[in-house]
Structures are given as structure tokens and as C-alpha cells.
């Protein structure tokens, strides 16, 4: 099942066409997929910068064309002993911080105006420019033979498949990803999510205020609510992005300069 398949099912069940997701999951992956429904789709960009935590398993000893278990093997399999746990932990720790990461050839990144995976499937060469990513956390959990399980927290745009690939390269064994589970996006955690099979037309959905809980919150009085609903700025000492609320209702998301809060996305009717 693809992320698009999940959205399509949610549209049918909820009877709502305006549904989108934040952050695609590979079809073989599991875990958290955040869906934004109705007017919630308008706040997607405010979730883009949140760190994402993944539980991943890489298999040492063989590269694949897709950098995961769905691809054909590339090159010969590694022969000889595998690295010790201490060496794997040391190399994995080396991924921490800001770095340049080359996206997988089978990815949605574009080359010459076309998705890289389309070129790769035709057997054409794919040369993607590295992008800057950040690995905030990298923890080795277990090593069982060639199977290496680890947890990483990464910035938007980071490919965990590429981390598995590069881990194998740095260890001199080659590697590919065999399992991936997204555990969280910011403060949104998979254990709080609704299983897709449990989604029903009357399912209560999370309020936008909870989804945007990582942003500063500014309460509005009635006059402020009316002004913001009409797109007018209101006074406020917040600098940067903030959520403007009347009670528990999100009225708008605004940008503040320390004196004024100017609505960028208005969600409430005047």
C-alpha cells in the first residue's frame, strides 16, 4: 500500500475530497502517516520542518538498486567476516549532524525535470545532486548476524534507505534497508495514531490545535478573532510563526515580528 492509497481510502470512508498527507512512506514501510483533512490541508507546510524518528533494519553484505529489499542486487555479495558491533556503532554515530546525502536513484527527486525513479526503471543513468540533511539522533539497537537495527531522528528530506546504503559503504560490506517504521513526526507519535482499518465516517479527528502544538499559541478576544478572520493583523509580541486561537478553535496561523501578528493562513470564516 502506498501513501496515496491511504489517502484514497480515507477520502472514500470520510466522504471528503480534500485530504492530503505529510511525508510519503515507502510501500514496504509501516508506521505514522499524518493525514490532513478539509481545511487542515492548508497547514501542511507548518509540519514540514519537524524531525522524524524511524526504527530501521539494514542487512549488511549486499547493495541493491533501490537501497532496500525491493531492488535487485548490485555487485557481488560481501564475503568474509562482518564488522563487530562496536565498529558498527562507531560508524553509525558518524552520521550525526549536518551532512550532504545523495538521494537513492529510485526516488521522487527530479533529474532533468523527470522523477529519478522513472529514469532508473528505464535503465538510464541517474545522477542526483546531494542535498543537505541533518541526523539528530542515531542509536544502534541490535546486531543479529547481518541484520542491524537502529533508530534515527532526521530532518525532512532525509532518506533512511540512503543511510543504510552509506552505512554499508563505510563498513566496506554494502547494505540495504529491509524494514522501516516511522515512529513520530515532531510530537505526533504512532502509538496515538488511528489504525487505517479502524477509520469510520464518524471517527473523531484530532483538532488542528493539537497537530500544531509545536508552535506558540496566542489567544484572541472577540475583537481579535473578527480582525484575524478578515485577514487583519493583531498586536502580539511573538516573533516567528504562531497559532491564533479563539478558545480551542484555530482561527489562523500568523507570522509575528515582535509587535504585530499578520495572518498567513486564515481558517475561520468571518
> What phi and psi, each to the nearest 5 degrees, are found at residue 265?
-135, 115
* List 5, 26, 221, 257, catalytic entry: 26
Q: Which three cell numbers stand for residue 51?
A: 524531525
Write b or e for each residue in 224-257: b if 16 or more Cβ atoms lie within 10 A of its Cβ, otherwise e.
Answer: bbbbbbeeebbebebeebbbbbbeeebbbbbebe
CA separation (Å) from 187 to 24, 105, 117? 18, 31, 32
| C-alpha span between 213 and 250 (Å, rounded) | 11
Annotation marks residue 26 as catalytic = yes
Pick from 92, 70, 73, 72: nearest CA to 26: 70
Distance between CA atoms of residues 38 and 19, nearest Å: 6
In angstroms, rounded to a whole number, what is the distance separating the alpha carbons of residues 61 and 76?
Answer: 9
Q: Which of 47, 61, 137, 126 is nearest to 92 (CA)?
A: 137
Task: Please give the positions annotated as active site.
Answer: 26
Amino acid at each position: 500500500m502506498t501513501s496515496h492509497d491511504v489517502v484514497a481510502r480515507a477520502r472514500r470512508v470520510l466522504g471528503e475530497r480534500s485530504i492530503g498527507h505529510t511525508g510519503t512512506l515507502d510501500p514496504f514501510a509501516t508506521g505514522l502517516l499524518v493525514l490532513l483533512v478539509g481545511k487542515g490541508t492548508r497547514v501542511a507546510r507548518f509540519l514540514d520542518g519537524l524531525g522524524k524518528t524511524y526504527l530501521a533494519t539494514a542487512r549488511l553484505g549486499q547493495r541493491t538498486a533501490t537501497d532496500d529489499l525491493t531492488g535487485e542486487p548490485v555487485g557481488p555479495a560481501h564475503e568474509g567476516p562482518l564488522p563487530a558491533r562496536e565498529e558498527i556503532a562507531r560508524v553509525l554515530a558518524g552520521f550525526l549532524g549536518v551532512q550532504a546525502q545523495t538521494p537513492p536513484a529510485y526516488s521522487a527527486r527530479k533529474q532533468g525535470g523527470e522523477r529519478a525513479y522513472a529514469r532508473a526503471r528505464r535503465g538510464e543513468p541517474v545522477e542526483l545532486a546531494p542535498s543537505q540533511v541533518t541526523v539528530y539522533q542515531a542509536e544502534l539497537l541490535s546486531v543479529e548476524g547481518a541484520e542491524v537495527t537502529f533508530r534515527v531522528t532526521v530532518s525532512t528530506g532525509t532518506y533512511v534507505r540512503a543511510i543504510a546504503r552509506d552505512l554499508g559503504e563505510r563498513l566496506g560490506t554494502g547494505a540495504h534497508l529491509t524494514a522501516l517504521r516511522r515512529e513520530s513526526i515532531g510530537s505526533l507519535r504512532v502509538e496515538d495514531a488511528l489504525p487505517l482499518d479502524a477509520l469510520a465516517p464518524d471517527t473523531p479527528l484530532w483538532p488542528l490545535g493539537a497537530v500544531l502544538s509545536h508552535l506558540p499559541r496566542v489567544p484572541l478576544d472577540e475583537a481579535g478573532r473578527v480582525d484575524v478572520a478578515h485577514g487583519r493583523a493583531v498586536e502580539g509580541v511573538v516573533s516567528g510563526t504562531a497559532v491564533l486561537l479563539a478558545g480551542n478553535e484555530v482561527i489562523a496561523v500568523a507570522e509575528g515580528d515582535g509587535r504585530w501578528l499578520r495572518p498567513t493562513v486564515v481558517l475561520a470564516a468571518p
